[in-house]
Amino acid sequence: MVTCPSCVRTQPLALVCAGCGAPIGASVDLFAALNLPRRLTIDPEALERAYHNLSRRIHPDRFGSASVRIRDASLRATALLTRAYRTLRDPAARGRYWLELHGHKLGDDNQRVPANLAALVFETQERLAELRDERTPGNLAAARARREEVARALDAAGLELAENFARWDADGVATADGEHAARFAELKAVLSKIAYLTTLHRDIDRELETARAA
């Protein structure tokens, strides 16, 4: 329980007071911070609306002349709200937060890279090394083609992630333990794939940027 520093109403932990709407800034999970249900499928527009509405209500500028306790509450609430918004608006970050929320870590028992993904990484990095050695139009075209391929793979992984999210939302915590474990493993696998592909995409971009600058 927590007491609102503005209207002194006692209530369950919350970002803002249920009575007067002033900031409390208690530590709540990131879904609760945005007043969203604990669901992985999030409508981006609803997320934006929730963020902007809450942000306006608790912004430190509004409490410049308030008491120290209220100003502190405003700062804490704003920091948490910002973290919630940045985490939940990015599906991969949202998925990683879901793991964290349930006591899982992305890296635990998860260091084998699937063969086809490893092949893509190594072949692409070899093309980039060739481009570094020789900036020929052919090598540039090969690197650009790889970027397209990696971007397509990232799109496909994004769809896989959305499907995993939908399965959690469909039956959530009511699932049997065995099925839960499989779904967490699947979530880790797709989040890992996205991480490797994102790093690869960034490396290609950097190399193409260097080639352009030269």
Partner 1 sequence: MAYSDKVIDHYNNPRNVGSFDKGDADVGTGIVGAPECGDVMKLQLRINPESRVIEDARFKTFGCGSAIASSSYVTELVKGKHIEEAMTIKNTVIVQELNLPPVKIHCSVLAEDAIKAAIGDWKKQHEDARPSAEPRKAQEG
Q: What are the residues binding partner 1 (CB under 8 A)?
A: 106-107, 110-113, 115, 118, 121-122, 125, 188, 191-192, 195-196, 198-200, 203
Nearer to partner 1, 17 or 191 (CB): 191
State the nearest-atom distance from the C-beta of 131 to partner 1, in Å: 15
State the nearest-atom distance from the C-beta of 90 to partner 1, in Å: 15
CB atoms within 10 A of CB 88: 23
Nearer to partner 1, 156 or 170 (CB): 156
- What does each C-alpha distance from 154 to 49, 61, 119, 192, 201 come to in angstroms? 27, 40, 15, 11, 9
State the nearest-atom distance from the C-beta of 158 to partner 1, in Å: 16
Nearer to partner 1, 3 or 198 (CB): 198
Nearer to partner 1, 10 or 111 (CB): 111
Yes or no: say if 158 and 194 are a contact pair by the CB < 8 Å rule: yes
Report which of 141, 162, 152 is spatially closest to residue 197, judged by C-alpha positions. Answer: 152
Nearer to partner 1, 87 or 110 (CB): 110
SS3 label, residue 2: strand
State the nearest-atom distance from the C-beta of 117 to partner 1, in Å: 8
Report which of 90, 91, 107, 94 is spatially closest to residue 29, judged by C-alpha positions. Answer: 94
Structure tokens at 139: 């090598």
Report which of 34, 40, 29, 36 is spatially closest to residue 171, judged by C-alpha positions. Answer: 40
State the nearest-atom distance from the C-beta of 206 to partner 1, in Å: 12
